[in-house]
């Protein structure tokens, strides 16, 4: 056993004594030591209940003959950090989470690992650590939040965000908003939308890194049972020596992107899946994603892209049912999963229970995937759009640029009525380096929708979006402004043409003028405090289109 290095032999008397001081029995040290990584905290609904999940995992590990040892990591809530200085930190925290798990597992030589996780950057950071450490590992998430309720209607996080625009326009009172706030998010779990949190839970199942059941609700007894089975399964994986890199193959990432396109997942998967692949020693070719998007119909639309909620997807058969349809259509590749079985075996009994939620393959929302990559002189290395959340009339759009060098200025202009129909809002210096930390632009996208401009105004940014964002919004524009990208050269009033189906975004300024602007350009001073984590992060983080991973040279 890997843990023998800390528990066996004459020279390990003090090591054993440290375990005994915590109540661990000598015979327990003869069993595999299974790390349970539990980021439970009181900072967000996705994590507040994870002790219950971790307890069930512990019971499963004990029942199957292992010795569970639990430790935690940090976990930031994107929602609480949203729209303020705090939003510089969530993406940057992904690398900290990965590093902290590496430190604990390698520092203590654990034999296997169960990852209990939830939410936007925590799940990707944990999966990155699993790939890096490559010891037997399985994941269980905290599950999606139940659907909210306000004024006799089902509501969720996105509806609440957009209600702020209704107040600004005088169509809702502050008292009504207060009532809305108290009913939109009814309890624990990942926010009740197809945000990054739920998307990454679903991607974990698509990758094969968890037992089927990623869509089971947070408050369900089925969620606790799933956690218990996960604790039992890790012992089987340990005995068979099935490790993350056996599962995280290129076939697994192909499957994840297929599912991502089918469900119209968060654009943040374009950051996280390549970063996880990077830790597994793989490189995602963006051409593969474009190919997958062209092959995969969008058959699920959860808020904010559609009218359904995560609970509806669970009732309709969950991600396994989605994957079953995709597999039957020949879009998935068979590969090993952390059930110990291939994808095909996991899907044998899956079926769609509600075709209004999971549409048939011959009756999709669109014939192409829910996410789209765009390229052009404005984004030579690419940009990302949640095509499933774009109104048909905005899939192609041309208009004058309204340029802002930070999110707050753009949001203020939108709410002050300074943005006109037809405009294209450009928010820059918000990329991985320039932010630093690549803030989410949920506030400006929600402002555009809330101010009634969703059918006439587009947004382009080198920042990123929340899964709650919708509208004609292109993010991850690379190279970013702080790296000298073309987006940093855009001037007020420049004409920009967007063609999402065609995969292009073009700044209609001639090359000579762009060269003149480039010669005069200087990078603004960093917004990060010298010596801070954000300062160090900005110096070594790479482009959004490489997953915003740390440079290895």
Q: Is 215 a catalytic residue?
A: no
242 SS3 class = coil
The C-alpha atoms of residue 262 and residue 365 are separated, in whole angstroms, by 10
The C-alpha atoms of residue 469 and residue 545 are separated, in whole angstroms, by 19
The crossing angle, in degrees rounded to 10, of helices 196-207 and 122-133 is: 30
Residue 199, both tokens: 């998307």
Catalytic residue among 3, 214, 327, 466: 466
The C-alpha atoms of residue 459 and residue 444 are separated, in whole angstroms, by 8
With b for 16 or more beta-carbon neighbours within 10 A and e for fewer, the 418-442 pattern comes to ebeeebbbbbbbbbbbbbbbbbbbb
Order across the sheet with 33-37: list the strands. 67-71, 33-37, 112-117, 137-141
On whether the CB atoms of residues 175 and 319 are closer than 8 A, the answer is: no
Residue 392, both tokens: 């048909």
Residue 323, both tokens: 């994957």
* Secondary structure element (H or E) that encloses residue 383, with its range: strand 379-385
The backbone torsions φ and ψ at residue 403, rounded to the nearest 5 degrees and listed phi first, read: -105, 130
Residue 242, both tokens: 């099935």
Residues annotated catalytic, as ranges: 466
């Amino acid at each position: 056993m890997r843990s023998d290095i800390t528990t066996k032999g004459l020279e390990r008397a003090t090591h054993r004594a440290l375990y005994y001081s915590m109540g661990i029995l000598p015979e327990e040290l003869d069993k595999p030591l299974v790390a349970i990584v539990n980021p439970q905290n009181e900072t967000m609904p996705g994590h507040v209940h994870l002790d219950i999940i971790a307890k069930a995992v512990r019971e499963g590990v004990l029942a199957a003959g292992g010795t569970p040892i639990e430790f935690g990591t940090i976990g930031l809530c994107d929602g609480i950090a949203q729209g303020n200085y705090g939003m510089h930190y969530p993406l940057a925290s992904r690398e900290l989470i990965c590093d902290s798990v590496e430190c604990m597992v390698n520092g203590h030589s654990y034999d296997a690992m169960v990852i209990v996780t939830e939410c936007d950057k925590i799940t990707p950071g944990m999966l990155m650590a699993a790939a890096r450490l490559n010891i037997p590992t399985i994941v269980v998430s905290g599950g999606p939040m139940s659907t909210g309720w306000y004024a006799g209607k089902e509501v969720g996080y996105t509806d609440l965000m957009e209600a702020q625009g209704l107040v600004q326009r005088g169509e809702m009172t502050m008292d009504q908003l207060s009532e809305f706030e108290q009913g939109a998010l009814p309890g624990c779990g990942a926010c009740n939308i197809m945000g990054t949190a739920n998307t990454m839970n679903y991607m974990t199942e698509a990758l094969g890194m968890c037992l089927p059941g990623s869509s089971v609700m947070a408050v369900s007894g089925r969620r606790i049972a799933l956690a218990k089975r996960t604790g039992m399964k890790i012992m089987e994986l340990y005995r068979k020596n099935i490790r993350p890199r056996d599962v995280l193959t290129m076939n697994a990432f192909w499957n994840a992107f297929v599912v991502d396109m089918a469900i119209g997942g968060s654009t943040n998967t374009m950051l996280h899946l390549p970063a996880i692949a990077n830790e597994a020693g793989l490189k995602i070719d963006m051409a593969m994603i474009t190919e997958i998007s062209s092959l995969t119909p969008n058959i699920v639309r959860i808020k904010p892209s559609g009218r359904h909620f995560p609970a509806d997807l669970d009732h309709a058969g969950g991600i396994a049912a989605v994957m079953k349809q995709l597999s039957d259509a020949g879009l998935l590749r068979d590969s090993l999963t952390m059930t110990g079985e291939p994808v095909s075996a996991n899907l044998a009994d899956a079926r769609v229970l509600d075709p209004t939620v999971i549409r048939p393959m011959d009756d999709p929302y669109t014939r192409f995937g829910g996410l789209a990559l765009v390229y052009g002189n404005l984004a030579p290395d690419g940009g990302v759009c949640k095509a499933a959340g774009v109104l048909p009339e905005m899939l192609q759009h041309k208009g004058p640029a309204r340029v802002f060098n930070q999110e707050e200025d753009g949001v203020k202009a939108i709410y002050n009525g300074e943005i006109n129909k037809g405009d294209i809002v450009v928010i820059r210096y918000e990329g991985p380096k320039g932010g630093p930390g690549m803030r989410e632009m949920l506030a400006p996208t929600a402002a555009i929708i809330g101010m009634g401009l969703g059918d006439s105004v587009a947004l382009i940014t080198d920042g990123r979006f929340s899964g709650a964002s919708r509208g004609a919004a292109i993010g991850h524009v690379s190279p970013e402004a702080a790296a000298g990208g073309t987006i940093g050269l855009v001037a007020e009033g420049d004409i920009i043409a967007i063609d999402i189906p065609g995969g292009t975004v073009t700044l209609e300024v001639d090359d000579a003028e762009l060269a003149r602007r480039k010669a005069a350009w200087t990078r603004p001073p960093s917004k990060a405090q010298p010596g801070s984590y954000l300062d160090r992060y900005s110096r070594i983080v790479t482009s959004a289109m490489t997953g915003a991973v740390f440079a290895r040279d």
